[in-house]
Copies of this chain bind each other. A is one copy, B any other.
Amino acid sequence: MTIVYAAIICGLIAVIYGVLTSQQVLRAPAGNEKMQDIAAAIQEGAKAYLGRQYRTIAIVGVVVLVLVWFFLDNHGTPVSAVSFALGAVLSGVAGYVGMNISVRANVRTAEAARTSLQGGLTMAFRSGAVTGLLVAGLGLLSISGTFLYLAGHDGANAGAPVVVKALTALAFGASLISIFARLGGGIFTKAADVGADLVGKVEAGIPEDDPRNPATIADNVGDNVGDCAGMAADLFETYVVTIGVTMISVALALRNADHLLAIMSLPLIVGGVCILTSILGTFMVRLGSSGSIMGALYKGFWTSVVLSIPAIYFATQYTLGDMHAAIGGNAFLDGSGASAEAVAGTAAGAITGMKLFWCMMIGLAVTGLLVWITEYYTGTNFRPVRSIAKASETGHGTNVIQGLAISLESTALPTLVIVVAVVVAYQLAGVIGIAFAATAMLAQAGMVVALDAYGPVTDNAGGIAEMAGLPDDVRHRTDALDAVGNTTKAVTKGYAIGSAALAALVLFNAYTSDLGRDFPSLTVDFQLSNPYVIVGLLLGALLPYLFGAMGMTAVGRAAGAVVEEVRAQFRDDPGIMAGTSRPNYARTVDLVTKAAIKEMIVPSLLPVLSPILVYFIIAGVAGQAEGFAALGAMLLGVIVSGLFVAISMTSGGGAWDNAKKYIEDGNHGGKGSEAHKAAVTGDTVGDPYKDTAGPAVNPMIKITNIVALLLLAALAAAGAG
């Protein structure tokens, strides 16, 4: 278990890095009194929202906890229940701590930007890095700790069913929090943003972040609870699920392999060494002679990725010993329906350390390519964004048409990249190869989340600079810092959904393996010619659509409430528009809080309840085997359709946003032109696409899969098999 201890040390280093960097951030000057006032309002609003969100989730969480204990632990030793709680709590902690540093770094970034661009960049990125490293560190600690505790200090129980069960429950806890946090935060941020824009920019004709707008604090709060806390919970979940399911797959496929413990520890140590490379990467974020901010962030990202290559190689070599020796050669699967070759090896022969290394390199390549493709589709230097900007000249309608066309198109290259990765990784090392590719992708989470969490800090810094009336040159610097935020945010979402596609394939494999183990006498036909498979695919494919519809409608409804609230404030106190009285920011924050919490419940339960319903209905109509077939197909249907829905929404939304920015930079008539008005419409449409519905598809896919695994386990525990 030396390897696992090493991974735990890496996780602790991440936490220590987080603590030290937080202190660095907090030591920096926090600006003048007015700035601090504004920042305090944002802090207060964010804290109030998150508190209420977590309290609501806690109620659902406790109910689920009891169900988990009752059905999964068979109301005995609460292994699953405790793991579930651990995943849920740590997911919440990552989001909460990240947001707390974010709402303190925003004002300090504005203050630092008074002196230099580099100062502002450093402050904002450091805050993002705290969130990023905490996500990766806590994620790694939770899995390693659970594994260490259950597998025993000698690792004797590494492949035992209890380990698989606990890791699944851990992932479930993280997923359940993340879907609520992603959706609640997403609804909050976009309801406030869209509402503030509609009533401020469009109706009252005042600029964004104008202090006279009663929704402006809510808008800034939203950036933190959505893009920081929600995103952190999402990536924590993605991290835990991906690494967890890789270990589970290894445990299921290589149950009797000689090196089982070593191979199960490999994902952990890979996660560990990549935390170290991510930390090294954070020190490379510096403006070069070109002054490009995106370039500075990419320096950090690429440093981390490139250093990960030797780091992963040596970690693999250290863990497995001989890189060319066959591992898992004597592995077999009992009755899972999948052939041993398909799971544990390939036509090309047994798995070796070298092959796993190459699979992880595929994961790194996918990460790099997805970043590059997302940048192409959302950056202002390339055809897609420019075509939307050009289409804005002929009006609102053509802007939206072109944006939708780009959003549909943007799915093509990521799909091809994922398809090639699946084929090559599978040829190298079977399904386990795909799992290790996904693990290497997620190992970069520390750096990727840092890039993303940078966004809300700079966005807030710009808002504070505007509201506090800082000089124009400061506002220019914060604008420049903020401009790259759209791209970095889109990048993270593409990365998350791409890794979700790989993870979902591995989860499906876990499902079939579990099925074989728990229901050995049942023959489940997963052939495409089985109509219940088609039915499952169709129902699974429906989920992202229905979920997206609910998310979009929720934003529309909540934004409408914001508009009416702001109109009422303007009407009741004309002094607000005159600038003589202060609007009631807190009332708006409170309104959005209540609306977001209310709206997040039903859509979040959709992916939790649907798999259960589908299983019981189909099993009732056509028997248990067809029920399992339809349920399994549903898991793939949700990823096949969800991948496209999520990519099209997040890339399309980012492209719309940057098309507006491109016009504001003086193209096609610049700010205030007809083209600009059309681009604002496109941006508004893209908002719930890219920040509410789209990103929430990722946890939705995972939770559907995990609920299916848990349902299997519960049915098995209940002796239904």
Which A positions have Cβ atoms within 8 angstroms of B? 194, 197-198, 202, 337-338, 342, 391, 394-398, 400-402, 404-406, 408-409, 411-412, 415-416, 418-419, 422-423, 426-427, 431, 434, 501, 505, 508-509, 512, 526-535, 537-539, 541-542, 545-546, 548-550, 552-553, 555-556, 559-560, 563, 618, 621-622, 632-633, 636-637, 640-641, 643-644, 648, 680-681, 683-685, 688-689
Say yes or no: A622 contacts B427, CB within 8 Å: yes
Please name all residues of chain B whose beta carbon is closer than 8 Å to the beta carbon of A552 when the two chains form the complex: 401-402, 404-405, 408
Residue of B nearest to A546 (CB): B412
**9 nearest A-B pairs in the assembled complex, by CB-CB distance:** A397-B684, A409-B549, A405-B552, A408-B549, A396-B681, A526-B528, A426-B531, A405-B553, A400-B685
Report the minimum CB–CB distance from A592 to chain B (whole Å).
16
Kindly state the separation between the CA atoms of A394 and B556 in the bound complex, as whole angstroms.
Answer: 10
Report the minimum CB–CB distance from A513 to chain B (whole Å).
9
Q: Which among B198, B539, B643, B648 is the interface contact of A397 at CB below 8 angstroms?
A: B198
Report the minimum CB–CB distance from A382 to chain B (whole Å).
15
Please name all residues of chain B whose beta carbon is closer than 8 Å to the beta carbon of A526 when the two chains form the complex: 527-529
Please name all residues of chain B whose beta carbon is closer than 8 Å to the beta carbon of A550 when the two chains form the complex: 409
Say yes or no: A643 contacts B508, CB within 8 Å: no
Given contacts A198-B398, A396-B681, A401-B684, A538 and B643 within 8 Å (CB-CB) = yes
- Counting chain B CB atoms within 10 Å of each CB, the highest count among A391, A404, A416, A633 belongs to A404
Say yes or no: B408 contacts A538, CB within 8 Å: no
- Listed by A's residue number, 19 A-B pairs whose Cβ atoms lie within 8 Å are A342-B529, A391-B560, A394-B560, A396-B684, A397-B680, A397-B681, A400-B684, A401-B555, A405-B548, A408-B546, A409-B546, A412-B549, A423-B531, A427-B621, A427-B622, A512-B529, A537-B636, A541-B640, A541-B641
Known: A409-B549, A411-B542, A422-B531. 19 other contacts (CB 8 A): A198-B395, A198-B397, A198-B398, A342-B530, A394-B560, A397-B685, A405-B548, A405-B552, A405-B553, A405-B556, A409-B553, A412-B549, A415-B542, A419-B538, A434-B531, A528-B528, A542-B644, A637-B640, A640-B640
Say yes or no: B508 contacts A621, CB within 8 Å: no
Residue of B nearest to A426 (CB): B531
Please name all residues of chain B whose beta carbon is closer than 8 Å to the beta carbon of A560 when the two chains form the complex: 391, 394, 398
Report the minimum CB–CB distance from A383 to chain B (whole Å).
11
Please name all residues of chain B whose beta carbon is closer than 8 Å to the beta carbon of A416 when the two chains form the complex: 542
Say yes or no: B398 contacts A194, CB within 8 Å: yes
Say yes or no: A400 contacts B546, CB within 8 Å: no
Kindly state the separation between the CA atoms of A534 and B633 in the bound complex, as whole angstroms.
Answer: 11
Please name all residues of chain B whose beta carbon is closer than 8 Å to the beta carbon of A545 when the two chains form the complex: 408-409, 411-412, 644, 648
Please name all residues of chain B whose beta carbon is closer than 8 Å to the beta carbon of A402 when the two chains form the complex: 552-553, 556
Say yes or no: A412 contacts B527, CB within 8 Å: no
Please name all residues of chain B whose beta carbon is closer than 8 Å to the beta carbon of A553 when the two chains form the complex: 402, 405, 409
Kindly state the separation between the CA atoms of A534 and B526 in the bound complex, as whole angstroms.
Answer: 12
Say yes or no: B641 contacts A640, CB within 8 Å: yes
Say yes or no: A636 contacts B397, CB within 8 Å: no
Say yes or no: A535 contacts B422, CB within 8 Å: yes
Please name all residues of chain B whose beta carbon is closer than 8 Å to the beta carbon of A539 when the two chains form the complex: 415, 419
Report the minimum CB–CB distance from A334 to chain B (whole Å).
15
Residue of B nearest to A551 (CB): B405
Say yes or no: A640 contacts B538, CB within 8 Å: yes
Given contacts A395-B681, A400-B685, A681-B396, A418 and B538 within 8 Å (CB-CB) = yes
Please name all residues of chain B whose beta carbon is closer than 8 Å to the beta carbon of A549 when the two chains form the complex: 405-406, 408-409, 412
Residue of B nearest to A434 (CB): B531
Say yes or no: A529 contacts B508, CB within 8 Å: yes
- Counting chain B CB atoms within 10 Å of each CB, the highest count among A529, A644, A681 belongs to A529
Say yes or no: A505 contacts B527, CB within 8 Å: no
Please name all residues of chain B whose beta carbon is closer than 8 Å to the beta carbon of A530 when the two chains form the complex: 342
Please name all residues of chain B whose beta carbon is closer than 8 Å to the beta carbon of A396 when the two chains form the complex: 396, 681, 684
Kindly state the separation between the CA atoms of A549 and B636 in the bound complex, as whole angstroms.
Answer: 24
Please name all residues of chain B whose beta carbon is closer than 8 Å to the beta carbon of A689 when the two chains form the complex: 404
Kindly state the separation between the CA atoms of A397 and B400 in the bound complex, as whole angstroms.
Answer: 9
Please name all residues of chain B whose beta carbon is closer than 8 Å to the beta carbon of A411 when the two chains form the complex: 542, 545-546
Kindly state the separation between the CA atoms of A681 and B643 in the bound complex, as whole angstroms.
Answer: 28
Report the minimum CB–CB distance from A631 to chain B (whole Å).
11
Given contacts A396-B681, A553-B405, A508 and B531 within 8 Å (CB-CB) = no
Report the minimum CB–CB distance from A321 to chain B (whole Å).
29
Residue of B nearest to A202 (CB): B395
Report the minimum CB–CB distance from A645 to chain B (whole Å).
8
Kindly state the separation between the CA atoms of A409 and B411 in the bound complex, as whole angstroms.
Answer: 21
Please name all residues of chain B whose beta carbon is closer than 8 Å to the beta carbon of A555 when the two chains form the complex: 401
Given contacts A419-B538, A512-B529, A546-B409, A685 and B401 within 8 Å (CB-CB) = yes
Kindly state the separation between the CA atoms of A548 and B528 in the bound complex, as whole angstroms.
Answer: 26
Kindly state the separation between the CA atoms of A396 and B535 in the bound complex, as whole angstroms.
Answer: 38
Q: Which among B394, B419, B636 is the interface contact of A528 at CB below 8 angstroms?
A: B636
Say yes or no: B533 contacts A505, CB within 8 Å: no
Residue of B nearest to A397 (CB): B684
Kindly state the separation between the CA atoms of A530 and B400 in the bound complex, as whole angstroms.
Answer: 39
Say yes or no: B202 contacts A632, CB within 8 Å: no
Kindly state the separation between the CA atoms of A533 and B512 in the bound complex, as whole angstroms.
Answer: 15
Please name all residues of chain B whose beta carbon is closer than 8 Å to the beta carbon of A338 when the two chains form the complex: 527, 529
Please name all residues of chain B whose beta carbon is closer than 8 Å to the beta carbon of A641 when the two chains form the complex: 541, 640-641, 644
Residue of B nearest to A528 (CB): B526
Residue of B nearest to A342 (CB): B529
- Counting chain B CB atoms within 10 Å of each CB, the highest count among A401, A636, A683 belongs to A401
Report the minimum CB–CB distance from A560 to chain B (whole Å).
6
Kindly state the separation between the CA atoms of A396 and B677 in the bound complex, as whole angstroms.
Answer: 10
Say yes or no: A198 contacts B531, CB within 8 Å: no
Say yes or no: A531 contacts B505, CB within 8 Å: yes
Report the minimum CB–CB distance from A329 to chain B (whole Å).
21
Say yes or no: B398 contacts A534, CB within 8 Å: no
Please name all residues of chain B whose beta carbon is closer than 8 Å to the beta carbon of A546 when the two chains form the complex: 408-409, 411-412
Report the minimum CB–CB distance from A323 to chain B (whole Å).
24
Kindly state the separation between the CA atoms of A546 and B647 in the bound complex, as whole angstroms.
Answer: 13
Please name all residues of chain B whose beta carbon is closer than 8 Å to the beta carbon of A408 when the two chains form the complex: 545-546, 548-549, 552
Say yes or no: A422 contacts B681, CB within 8 Å: no
Please name all residues of chain B whose beta carbon is closer than 8 Å to the beta carbon of A505 when the two chains form the complex: 531, 534
Report the minimum CB–CB distance from A514 to chain B (whole Å).
12
Report the minimum CB–CB distance from A185 to chain B (whole Å).
18
Please name all residues of chain B whose beta carbon is closer than 8 Å to the beta carbon of A688 when the two chains form the complex: 401
Report the minimum CB–CB distance from A691 to chain B (whole Å).
12
Kindly state the separation between the CA atoms of A563 and B508 in the bound complex, as whole angstroms.
Answer: 51
Say yes or no: B400 contacts A400, CB within 8 Å: yes
